[in-house]
Amino acid sequence: MNSMYGTVALIMPLVTGAVISLVGVRMVVYGLNQLEQVMRFGLSIIGMLMHFLILCYSGQKLMDESQNVFYRAYAAKWYTFSPRLKSLLIITLYRSFKPCGLTAGNIFSLSMATYAAVSTKIFNFYL
């Protein structure tokens, strides 16, 4: 899934960041006295941030659920299992120890921490 989604997930935040920057510059150039332009540009920025939020939320949800697989397998009553199931449980624990997640072109992970860092930098840029 990451191989299919990685390139698109890398391009989308870069394009979103560039467009948000251009919209911000355009908003400053046109001035803040025209309410219609401010509303249009503000809604554009909010829409792009929401799109990036959806990308990051899906990556965070995948990480959380893959961590739950490890915790639930760890909490299982393994001593009541058959030897075959015990070996399968060991494989499951080993595989699920490192949580899965989505990355943007293997450069950065798509998580809520990434969204918080990006949105903080964007708001600091405008304020």
pLDDT digits (tens, 9 = 90+) for 52-86: 899 899 889 999 999 999 999 889 898 899 999 99
Q: Tell me the C-alpha to C-alpha distance, in Å, between residue 2 and each of 36, 58, 62, 63.
A: 40, 12, 11, 12
Containing domain of residue 121, as a range? 1-126
Q: What is the pLDDT of residue 87?
A: 93
Q: How many domains does the chain have?
A: 1
How many angstroms separate the CA atoms of 41 and 3, rounded? 34
H-run or E-run covering 103? strand 103-104
User: Which of 11-15, 29-33, 90-94, 106-110 is predicted most confidently?
Assistant: 90-94
pTM over 0.95: no
Give how far the C-alpha of residue 54 lies from the chain's centroid of Cα atoms, to the nearest Å. Answer: 7
Owner of token pair 């299919």: 4
Query: Are 68 and 54 spatial neighbours (Cβ–Cβ below 8 Å)?
Result: no
Q: Which two tokens stand for residue 65?
A: 């659920």
